[in-house]
Amino acid sequence: MTFIEKLNHSWCESNSLLMLGLDPNPDRFPAELSGRSGAIFEFCKGIIDAAATFACGVKPQIAYFSANRAEDQLEALCGYIRDHHPKLPIVLDAKRGDIGATAEQYAREAFERYQADAVTVNPYMGFDSLEPFLAWRDKGVAVLCRTSNPGGSDLQFVKSSNDKPLYIHVAELVSRRWNTNGQCALVVGATFPEEIGKVRQRVGDMPLLIPGIGAQGGDIRATVAAGRDSRGAGMMISSSRAILYASPEDDWREAAARIARATRDAINAAR
């Protein structure tokens, strides 16, 4: 099953557009995990087991693992998801972007080592920096387009040669020229719903990975109205910290499930 097929299946089976983001920060873990070997794996495993029912996929942010020398725990976690929650696509949030042989190694890291279903990439260096990822035709490639951070406008609003903002140029480039295998998605932030709508108008039913709700304050109703595709789906709306750290107490799993369910329900109510 390709990434796109798996994602479509998950949207239908789960009745959810919620992407469960995994940004594990040991400083915010509940006391029961303090100082424990393998705490990052145990925390993420607990969150996934509690909230998987309400999600269409899982998005681990690689920096939170590598900064804590926990790449082996990420590897184990991806294996756990495949074994115990096989219907959930794994989108590795790595934002890789380099050329030639280096990009090939980044692709191998995502798709061989972690066996992710998709990976986020940075298009700043152009098509040849994405080509090694696109060579994995059954995998997904989520290209940064209009990011959720305020500073994204520093570059993404610069006018390109066709007098369009750069993020629109990226959206059109990916949808019209780079998505030859039908495996691409675009990353657009929930904090800018007007721009989500402009991207959607140009890319048809291409999937959108949309971070920025929850702790970043993106509005769910505005996000859904701007980003839904012709079937009322087409979005992986990511929430991380609001779910992960819903409670610092012994009920952290139950609290995560409660917030994930409420978020899923709020998204569905806006569809």
CA 191 – CA 186 distance, rounded (Å): 15
The owner of tokens 């998005």 is 59
DSSP letter assigned to residue 61: B
Residue type, 42: E
Q: If you count them, how many residues does the chain have?
A: 271
Cβ atoms 168, 200 nearer than 8 A = no
Q: What's the number of CA atoms in the CB half-sphere (13 Å) around residue 71?
A: 9
Q: Kindly report the backbone phi and psi dihedral angles of residue 71, in degrees, each rounded to the nearest multiple of 5, phi listed first.
A: -60, -35
Q: Where are the beta strands (DSSP E) in 47-195?
A: 57-60, 91-96, 118-121, 140-146, 184-188
Catalytic residue among 95, 159, 164, 198: 95
CA 96 – CA 239 distance, rounded (Å): 21
139 as an active site residue: the answer is no
Write out the catalytic residue numbers: 95
